[in-house]
Amino acid sequence: MSDDNQVNITINDQPVTVPKGTLLVDAAKEVGVEIPVFCYHEKLGPFGCCRMCLVEVEKMPKLTTACTQTVMPDMVVRTESPKVVKAQQGVLEFTLLNHPLDCPVCDKGGECPLQDNTFKFGSGTTRMEFDRADNDKVTPLSPVITIDRERCIACQRCTRYSDIIEQEQALVMLNRGFKNEVHTFCDEPYATRYSGNVIDICPVGALTNTEFRFKARSWNLDNAETLCAHCGCNCNMTLGSRTNKLMRIQTRPNDLVDDGWICDKARFGYDFIESEDRLLEAGTVVGGARKKVNALDAAVQVADSLSKIVDEYGPESVGFLGSAYGTNEELYLYQKLFRSVLGTNNLDHKTYQDTPGLPIDHYDFLNVETANLVLLIGSDPAEELPILDLRIKKAVTRRGVKLAILNDQKTALDKFAELSSTYNVGADGAALSALANGLAEGGAGDESVTGISAEQMKSLVELIRSGKKVCVVYNPASLTGNSIHMLKHLLSVIGKIPDIECGAIPAAPSTNAVGAMDMGILPDFSPGGTPADKGLSAMEMIDKAESGELKALLMYRSNPVVDFPGGKRVEAALKNLNLLVVHDMMETETSQLAHIILPSNGPGYDEGTTTNIGGRVQYRRRGLNTKNLPDWKIVSKMINSLSEEPVEYITSFNVTEEISEKVPGYGEINKKSIRKEGKTREPVTSVNGSVPQVEKVNSADQGLKLRVATRLFTRDKILSTSSPLAHHFLPSTVNVHADDAAKLGFSEGDEAVLSANGAEVRAKVEISNRCNPGAVIVPMVADDQGVQGLAGGGSVSWVEVKKG
């Protein structure tokens, strides 16, 4: 019993044993004693300003706040003594003194801690006889957040969130005393990537969701516990709807994934599910006009047409371009259709190279906090995986974790890094191999190639060697050519360093990037990372379509015309096909070219499991009802119409069961095991390839290397111009290094024209040292920016930058 790390205390005569360092308010929860709080939030730590949690502790002269007091051995605590009750009533009276009686109108009504605490602990009457404070009512803090200053009780949860969690200090308290108010400096809009979380943590209705304001009362909502389908974090969220209309999205804390936060794209970026551009009906294109057909009939037609082409031209003549945005179930069934039924290995979901499996452990989000060193390679979490960004900030600022960054561009996380090295654009292979060599046998690589000085490489090697537990976070999508093999080699080198514990997170930006690979949407691997005969990769399929060797393509929620390098060439290649089937949720540039269109339900309406970058499989619940068939039903109809032994799936979980049977690593994934927090799938086996040679960067006579940077808020099919997040959209910009700008005669704000491959992109020049000289960075700001059209097929693209 006498465990050194356990403390015995008594709360209201009930004994309780809690770990050392526990706050009283948390200890009380253990025995079901409720201590009311406003300012305390377990993720923000003790603060003690609202004074609501006063309790009586024996041998302490005055009442103490339970949210700041850690447990001490043999403490005797009373939370219901007359002294405490008087204090609680007094504090509540003070809190309510200038709080307006807005409850019938207030959005927080019904889920308001102030309401609840007043009911449970308040005195029931007011002695206030003066006019209540007259503060600003509806004041926009940003286009998505509105503050009602009268309702604010100055608990400072939001400002602390901005300070501690976001590390932005964007939201602050201004003025003093009774006149203090939550505001931003100089009236700037409060527009961070994670600003929406303050709405959830506000204990009153002061910070409100502008989109949701006055639309519905909290108790009227149907809340679906679902997942976000934007990035690879798969944050847990609650989708509240009323009469089948999306009302609001809130956090659903899951410490193993999101730590209780979601980004603004998750909270405000779902209006596409009610967009007019949605594909809701199946159709066939006859003579240029689209004819509406029954989805199941269309599915049968697709299956028949594909099998006819296979019969005629062989299985290599059909291909499947999937997407890392689909669920495991849908992707698995498509994989089954193409691999088992049609007999082709032409499956892919991405334009970069990647292989399933890691030579070291597959780490999840928690390991970011428990590691000693986080090594970030080619990843920009703030734009790609916002919640991972928060997790890394937490690790660095509050867990004492060191951060090392190896990237070809400067990112927002650089200021938190112990060491940040920038390699030349396109030299990722060389840089990774230099680091691997440095770790294995010393040496620093060729600075003229990598762009990293020998000294910096040496300190990076030292930093990795001295980190007892290293968590590598890498973004395969940012690596060029075959560098992914270099990276896997580097991982195995780190794994071999003695006395080091290590693991990696393959931080690809898309929702189900890990799941898509696990489900075998790869040309060279079957589900579970089992090697298969090599089929055509995505880019090869486009090439073969261009040359006419590929006859039919099925696109599942993929839009190569915009997203693939090549632009016009891709469009021409797709036009060349005998059969183009597009199965998508939105009308896209690619769906305009399709011969047969199948509607996909997409996030909000669909259900299924997804695997996040930490390897955690979670269930994405349906939030809204639709009359349309789920995607897996359409795919299974295709399979069944071709297969001799049809398998009928009743629910999506029947597909999940088949996955757990057939896909290595998914054995323990089932409806029950993933119910609450999800379950980590067994890491798939890694193929030990030979160490590849560093690819020579193809050079051009003139121009600069192009790096397309991911942006969180891109004007695309998901976030349209009418999106509440439209204020985050940027104009087309190009980041030019100061040296190059001097050579080209650019000054800040100039108009530039970037041209390559016959495509042109206009952009505003921003002179920054975001990348090393010799390259430009163009953030992908919109679909119609056409920046992917500049990229060629090779590992590095060159662009000519001229004044416009």
Partner 1 sequence: MIAKTFDGIKNLLIGLGVTFRNLVSKPVTFSYPEDKRIMPERYRGRHFLNRDENGLERCVGCSLCSVNCPVGCIHVVAAENNPDHPVSEGERYAETYEINLLRCIYCGYCEEACPVDAVVLREHYELADYDRDNYIATKSDLLVYPEPNQFKVNILGNTTRV
Partner 2 sequence: MKILFKNIDMPGLTSLSVYEGQGGYQSFKKAFAQKPEEIVEIVKASGLRGRGGAGFPAGLKWSFLAKDVFPRYLVCNADESEPGTCKDRELLEKNPHLLIEGMILTSYACQVGTAYIYYRGEFQHAADLMDKAIEEAYAKGYLGKNIMGSGMDLDLYTHLGAGAYICGEESALLNSLEGRRGEPRLKPPFPAVEGLYAKPTVVNNVETLSAVPWIISEGAEKYAAIGTEKSKGTKLVSVSGHVKKPGNYEIVLGMSTRELIYDLAGGIRDDNKLKAFIPGGSSTPMLPADKVDVGYDYESIQAAGSMLGSGALIVMDHTVNVVEATLRLSYFYMHESCGKCTPCREGTRWMWQILGKLQAGIGTNGHVDKLLDICDNMSFKCFCPLGDAAVGPVASSIKNFRSDYEELVKKLQGGAVSV
Applying CB under 8 A, which part among 2-10, 90-98, 311-319, 641-649 lies near partner 2? 90-98
Distance of alpha carbon 260 from alpha carbon 164, whole angstroms = 14
Please report whether residue 214 would count as binding partner 1 according to CB under 8 A: yes
Distances from the Cα of 484 to the Cαs of 352, 353, 361, 643, 663, in angstroms?
A: 9, 7, 17, 37, 24
Contact (Cβ atoms closer than 8 angstroms) between residue 618 and residue 678: yes
Those residues with Cβ within 8 angstroms of residue 766's Cβ, 6 or more apart along the chain or in another chain: 733, 734, 735, 736, 748, 749
Angle among Cα 295, 557, 515 to the nearest 5 degrees reads 115
As measured in angstroms, the least distance from the Cβ of 178 to partner 2 is: 5
As measured in angstroms, the least distance from the Cβ of 38 to partner 2 is: 8
As measured in angstroms, the least distance from the Cβ of 261 to partner 1 is: 27
Please report whether residue 689 would count as binding partner 2 according to CB under 8 A: no
Given candidates 169, 220, 370, 651, which one binds partner 1 under the rule CB under 8 A? 220
- Closer Cβ to partner 2, 119 or 130, answer by number: 130
Residue 287: other Cβ atoms inside 10 A: 5
Q: In a 10 Å sphere around its CB, with 0-12 CB exposed, 13-18 middle and 19+ buried, how is residue 499 labelled? A: exposed
Q: Which two tokens mark 237?
A: 């969220």
Residue found under tokens 């305390």: 40
- Closer Cβ to partner 2, 97 or 532, answer by number: 97
- Identify what 97 binds: partner 1, partner 2, none; CB under 5 to 8 Å per kind: partner 2
Given candidates 14, 32, 74, 105, which one binds partner 1 under the rule CB under 8 A? 105
Distance of alpha carbon 405 from alpha carbon 384, whole angstroms = 15
HSE-up (13 A, CA, CB side) for residue 57 = 21
Distance of alpha carbon 361 from alpha carbon 501, whole angstroms = 9
Please report whether residue 130 would count as binding partner 2 according to CB under 8 A: yes
- Closer Cβ to partner 1, 96 or 500, answer by number: 96
- Closer Cβ to partner 2, 41 or 362, answer by number: 41
Please report whether residue 132 would count as binding partner 1 according to CB under 8 A: no
Kindly provide the b/e burial profile for residues 460-475, where b requires at least 16 CB atoms within 10 angstroms of the residue's own CB: bbebbbebebbbbbbb
As measured in angstroms, the least distance from the Cβ of 111 to partner 1 is: 13
Applying CB under 8 A, which part among 87-95, 104-112, 642-650, 675-683 lies near partner 2? 87-95
Given candidates 29, 43, 83, 215, which one binds partner 1 under the rule CB under 8 A? 215
Those residues with Cβ within 8 angstroms of residue 82's Cβ, 6 or more apart along the chain or in another chain: none
Please report whether residue 60 would count as binding partner 2 according to CB under 8 A: no
Distance of alpha carbon 314 from alpha carbon 310, whole angstroms = 5
Q: Which 3-state string (H, E, C) describes 482-545?
A: CHHHHHHHHHHHHHHCCCCEEEEEECCCECCHHHHHHCCCCCCEEHHHEECCCCCCHHHHHHHH
Count of residues interacting with partner 1 (CB under 8 A): 16
- Closer Cβ to partner 1, 178 or 219, answer by number: 219
Please report whether residue 217 would count as binding partner 1 according to CB under 8 A: yes
What are 85-91's contacts with CB under 8 Å, separation 24+?
85/121, 87/51, 87/54, 87/63, 88/36, 88/52, 88/54, 88/121, 89/121, 89/122, 89/123, 91/50, 91/51, 91/52, 91/54
Contact (Cβ atoms closer than 8 angstroms) between residue 191 and residue 145: no
- Give φ, ψ of 282 to 5 degrees: -75, 150
- Identify what 138 binds: partner 2, partner 1, none; CB under 5 to 8 Å per kind: partner 1
Residue closest to 248 by CA, chosen among 284, 210, 282: 210
Given candidates 49, 687, 691, 744, which one binds partner 2 under the rule CB under 8 A? 49
Q: At what angle do helices 568-575 and 538-547 cross, to 10 degrees?
A: 60
Given candidates 22, 79, 98, 795, which one binds partner 2 under the rule CB under 8 A? 98
Residue closest to 564 by CA, chosen among 708, 760, 705, 412: 708
Given candidates 20, 132, 213, 468, which one binds partner 1 under the rule CB under 8 A? 213
Residue closest to 535 by CA, chosen among 249, 336, 297, 344: 344
- Closer Cβ to partner 2, 40 or 365, answer by number: 40
Contact (Cβ atoms closer than 8 angstroms) between residue 579 and residue 595: yes
**Strand partners of residue 65:** 54
Please report whether residue 59 would count as binding partner 2 according to CB under 8 A: no
Residue found under tokens 């007094």: 90
- Identify what 216 binds: partner 2, partner 1, none; CB under 5 to 8 Å per kind: partner 1
As measured in angstroms, the least distance from the Cβ of 214 to partner 1 is: 4
- Binders of partner 1 among 135-174, rule CB under 8 A? 137-138
Applying CB under 8 A, which part among 96-104, 259-267, 338-346, 683-691 lies near partner 1? 96-104
As measured in angstroms, the least distance from the Cβ of 706 to partner 2 is: 41
Contact (Cβ atoms closer than 8 angstroms) between residue 78 and residue 10: no
Count of residues interacting with partner 2 (CB under 8 A): 35
Contact (Cβ atoms closer than 8 angstroms) between residue 553 and residue 541: yes
- Identify what 173 binds: partner 2, partner 1, none; CB under 5 to 8 Å per kind: partner 2
As measured in angstroms, the least distance from the Cβ of 165 to partner 2 is: 17
Please report whether residue 390 would count as binding partner 2 according to CB under 8 A: no
Given candidates 35, 36, 51, 761, which one binds partner 2 under the rule CB under 8 A? 51
Distances from the Cα of 334 to the Cαs of 598, 632, 645, in angstroms?
A: 14, 9, 17
H or E stretch including 250?
Answer: strand 245-251
Q: How are beta strands 797-803 and 704-709 bridged, if at all?
A: antiparallel
As measured in angstroms, the least distance from the Cβ of 398 to partner 2 is: 13
Applying CB under 8 A, which part among 68-76, 163-171, 209-217, 747-755 lies near partner 1? 209-217
As measured in angstroms, the least distance from the Cβ of 52 to partner 2 is: 8
Distance of alpha carbon 400 from alpha carbon 716, whole angstroms = 38
Distance of alpha carbon 120 from alpha carbon 124, whole angstroms = 10
Distance of alpha carbon 163 from alpha carbon 43, whole angstroms = 12
Residue found under tokens 């561009």: 409
Q: Fill in the per-residue mask, 55 to 94: x = in contact with partner 1 (CB under 8 A), - = not in contact.
A: ----------------------------------------
As measured in angstroms, the least distance from the Cβ of 612 to partner 1 is: 36
- Closer Cβ to partner 2, 1 or 186, answer by number: 186
As measured in angstroms, the least distance from the Cβ of 174 to partner 2 is: 9
Applying CB under 8 A, which part among 151-159, 270-278, 735-743, 771-779 lies near partner 2? 151-159
Applying CB under 8 A, which part among 208-216, 415-423, 476-484, 607-615 lies near partner 1? 208-216
Q: In this structure, what is the dihedral angle of CA atoms 40, 42, 45, 47, given to the nearest 10 degrees? A: 0
- Binders of partner 2 among 167-206, rule CB under 8 A? 172-173, 175-180
- Closer Cβ to partner 1, 100 or 793, answer by number: 100
Applying CB under 8 A, which part among 12-20, 28-36, 126-134, 690-698 lies near partner 2? 126-134
Q: Fill in the per-residue mask, 224 to 263: x = in contact with partner 1 (CB under 8 A), - = not in contact.
A: ------------------xx--------------------
Please report whether residue 52 would count as binding partner 2 according to CB under 8 A: yes
Please report whether residue 94 would count as binding partner 2 according to CB under 8 A: yes
Please report whether residue 762 would count as binding partner 1 according to CB under 8 A: no
- Identify what 569 binds: partner 1, partner 2, none; CB under 5 to 8 Å per kind: none
Q: Which parts of this chain interact with partner 1 (CB under 8 A)?
A: 102-105, 109, 137-138, 213-217, 219-220, 242-243
Q: Which parts of this chain interact with partner 2 (CB under 8 A)?
A: 46-52, 54, 61-63, 68, 86-87, 90-91, 93-95, 97-98, 127-128, 130, 153-154, 156, 172-173, 175-180
